[in-house]
Structure 1
């Protein structure tokens, strides 16, 4: 005779004074979870310190054992400049400055043995907690995980719209027996890497190192910031290093570098540093977060490809399972990866007239733009 498990889910306001106690609970559940680095306490604990709006904690228990945790930040927006809509953001804030640290593989932290059931219980608790919350935004998440949210919210008469969608790229290192570059990459990519490396080596001593000590990370970040700002300052997004919240977050991650999670790979030629990769290493997986590369006047020198190939070789030799380039389109990601996935951010909203009307207007606007764009071509 099987014994039915009892699940209890609560939603309540959260104060930072509760952080230390909650951290112990989070770490305990993290050990039973198959989560990404973005749901580790090292990431979440530092993220909580930059949140300025109302926080709500969702907790799920099975027979008095915690099996689900998640944080929502409350935000409001205006529809048509006059109707106020209350939103809840999962592990994000809805504020561009605060969200520039950028979370991916977003989800609740869940006990892997009962993740599907618990996720649905937590969604129901969120929907029932405050009917004045009209929108729940979740992402960037793997599409297959977001499908579970879509099904759960649909049962509660919520509708959904996609806010962001992109591709993610990953190199599976474990299935290649340590010879990833030769067995997986195209002939053209291998040629570019080999040629670039030979040219650099002909100019002197080329070296590759990975650093994880807090002191060294803090020393390297200003150098990375300078290159990164120079490249991205003129773009719409700008460089995160121009954002004090972004800088403070990563300084804190570096200074409290639990289990050497933050690692910076450096490519050096004759003691001159050519490029940097900021990676997160967690649960035997590498997450490539950002790069800062010096410019080269020789278009045959591919500093980024060379640096990534050295990093992938390094981590493959350590027995690392995968090297994740995360979301976003870029030629080098396609060239260096052997797996592709879909990442999305969705807004789940209550089935109410004003929200449906706004959604239809947005769709009409997008279709009109597409028609005119096609016509003008």
Structure 2
């Protein structure tokens, strides 16, 4: 990827934009990329998916031939902001090319199925004009996946810059548990389950009782080091795959690149906030959870939950309940289920990350330039929805 003027020089901004940007190759200029990102992390405390542990692992696992650059505002040693730009030229419907830019992503599904959430631009708040000035010349679409709606640019989606078209692909809540509320309830002699609905409480308590009657005392174990973490991860992945394949689905751990990414992450960055938990009753595995912990926030990322013959026992609900109690005892602030409004997340949560129940916490958004080909595509999609509403 080359910047709007030429590689290695500061781009010339529009009259109203004064912020200088430079572009770094994440492989050829790896040292400068690390310096810039670690400086931002130390000053702005981004979420786990934007911490250097995740970013370093991502860059190490990606093939170097991808068109990816780090846009840095200001100096490398103390940047004002930075974000990765993945660029891809994609043919739509075999008819016309679209020049795509992707925020902290590559544009290739194989490498973007990590599904990062709370995506943002680490650094000081920027105006749209400043942010868009970092993009290479000639772009048609700017893809903004998994945006944190409380951070840049997610908080500015309602004010799309003049001359551009904003397309909302998805907007969802991020259910969570307030762990301070759990601790307050425990101090009063109660329990986390008291904060849930009656049906959910009943299911978990019955599951707990039946599991102990069937297999023995329940215990939650946490991997203590990278070696044990690797064992937990492999068991989680195996159970995850078995469960999904029984339902006729592929399962994400069936993709070699995805599994290799997480094996390396656990091996290299275990002490940076990786939490792998196993719930057992006697010798029976009841579930594995893969969480990412930073700044008091526990992000539930993946799980391996076995399917049991006794469907009265709900191992997934039990595993999360145990993990929530565990992280409350550790002094963490939030247990975040990440995006989605699936029933079990809603049942186990005590709220959503946003301050309003009507607000989405995460958004998938596209900015388009008003190209004739893209307008024709949008019109064709609209007509298709009208003619075939059930498809």
TM-score range, shorter chain: 0.7 to 0.9
Q: Distance in 2 between matches of 1:64 and 1:17?
A: 17
Give how far 1:328 is off: 2.2
Alpha carbons 1:178, 1:316 under 8 Å: kept: no
The equivalent position to 1:165 in structure 2, one of 171, 185, 210, is 171
Write 1 or 2 for the structure with the bigger share of helix: 1
Alpha carbons 2:71, 2:83 under 8 Å: kept: yes
Aligned to 1:3: none
Give how far 1:48 is off: 1.6
Give how far 1:108 is off: 0.9
Alpha carbons 2:243, 2:306 under 8 Å: kept: no
Aligned to 1:252: 264
Q: Distance in 2 between matches of 1:368 and 1:272?
A: 53
The equivalent position to 2:157 in structure 1, one of 150, 153, 170, is 150
Aligned to 2:387: 368
SS at match of 1:192: helix
Q: Distance in 2 between matches of 1:209 and 1:234?
A: 27
Give how far 1:258 is off: 5.0
| Cα distance change on mapping 1:195 and 1:88 into 2, 3 Å | same
The equivalent position to 1:79 in structure 2, one of 92, 98, 101, is 92
Aligned pairs, number = 359
| Cα distance change on mapping 1:260 and 1:29 into 2, 3 Å | closer
| Cα distance change on mapping 1:177 and 1:226 into 2, 3 Å | closer
The equivalent position to 1:345 in structure 2, one of 347, 361, 364, is 364
SS at match of 1:255: helix
More deviation, 28-37/361-370? 361-370
| Cα distance change on mapping 1:124 and 1:50 into 2, 3 Å | same
Q: Distance in 1 between matches of 2:104 and 2:325?
A: 33
SS at match of 2:157: helix
Per the normalisation by structure 2, the TM-score is 0.84
Aligned to 2:340: 328
| Cα distance change on mapping 1:48 and 1:122 into 2, 3 Å | farther
Aligned to 1:304: 316
Per the normalisation by structure 1, the TM-score is 0.87
Q: Distance in 2 between matches of 1:273 and 1:288?
A: 19
Q: Distance in 1 between matches of 2:275 and 2:23?
A: 36
Q: Distance in 2 between matches of 1:48 and 1:364?
A: 41
SS at match of 1:227: helix
SS at match of 1:60: strand
Q: Distance in 2 between matches of 1:101 and 1:329?
A: 19
Q: Distance in 2 between matches of 1:7 and 1:320?
A: 40
**Structure 1 residues without counterparts, runs of 5 or longer:** 1-5
Q: Distance in 1 between matches of 2:51 and 2:122?
A: 9
Q: Distance in 1 between matches of 2:303 and 2:77?
A: 44
Aligned to 1:120: 128
Aligned to 1:288: 300
Does residue 1:97 correspond to 2:110, yes or no?
Answer: yes
SS at match of 1:366: helix
Matches within 5 A, 1:200-239: 200-203=211-214, 204-233=216-245, 238-239=250-251
Give how far 1:271 is off: 2.7
Aligned to 1:266: 278
Q: Distance in 1 between matches of 2:231 and 2:282?
A: 19
| Cα distance change on mapping 1:275 and 1:83 into 2, 3 Å | same
